[in-house]
Amino acid sequence: MDTAEIKQRLKRASHIVVVTGAGVSAESGIPTFRGPDGLWKHYRAEELATPQAFAKNPELVWEWYCWRRGIISKAKPNPGHVAIAELESRYNDFLLVTQNVDGLHRKAGSNKLVEIHGCIWQARCVKCNAIEQDNELDYRNIGPCSRCGGRKRPNVVWFGEPIPPTRLNSAFSAAESCDLMIVAGTSGIVQPAASLPFIAKKAGAYIIEVNVDTTPISAIADLFLKGKCGDVLPGLYS
């Protein structure tokens, strides 16, 4: 299908959902999780991104998240993020569901978004659940909860934890009612985000996948656009 047809397809659509993963932030210099130099190559997820790991060694977990914050704090949104924010402005019925916690979609101007795995720039009290903005880059300066003095944890969803129902419901209902879904920069293996394209497909949506590699989603994608998000996404509407 040539780009003119893709643009036509986008023009005809009226309910758009975009699902993104770490690949959309790769060109901003943020390592992905499972790519050739992915984060999980250097760390075992179980040792860092689980409630058990935090209970066992909160300093180690905070050290890893503050290290990631350091990388993210130097990162800028790339043309892929900007393109998604531009797409949002062209449709009334639009939702971005991102698995990323880096906050770059918001920085690029996306407003209609669900950060299903939370946000690295927030901390949550394990005692009273208060959520605070937290931009600390040095884990040794992470203080207690300002409300109750309890220990704070990164306000992100860890392996084995449920995604808050409000976020999940908005993502699933949008997938069930969209007529076009763009899936960009995700390996499509972590649930429940990995189910969204299958739900949309079943509901009759047209699925466009943007990735440098094929994924389990490629089998059901109506259109697989091989390439970097920063190169491919701006071409979808310009």
Q: Which residues have a catalytic role annotated?
A: 117
Of positions 77, 79, 118, 185, contacts ligand APR by CB under 6 A = 185
Of positions 16, 30, 82, 99, contacts ligand APR by CB under 6 A = 99
Contact call for residue 105 and ligand APR (CB under 6 A): no
Contact call for residue 212 and ligand APR (CB under 6 A): yes
Comparing CB distances to ligand APR, the nearer of 38 and 150 is: 38
d(CA 96, CA 114): 6
Q: H or E segment at 181?
A: strand 180-184
Contact call for residue 167 and ligand APR (CB under 6 A): no
Q: Which of 107, 103, 96 is nearest to 68 (CA)?
A: 103
Residue 186, CA distances (Å) to 34, 49, 138, 178, 212 in order: 10, 18, 29, 19, 10
Comparing CB distances to ligand APR, the nearer of 115 and 134 is: 115
Instruction: Classify residue 96 as exposed, middle or buried by CB count within 10 Å of its CB (0-12, 13-18, 19+).
Output: buried
One-letter amino acid for residue 147 of the chain: R
Min separation Cβ 149 and ligand APR, Å: 29
Binding site for ligand APR (CB under 6 A): 21-23, 26-27, 32-35, 38, 99, 117, 185-187, 190, 210-213, 215, 228-229
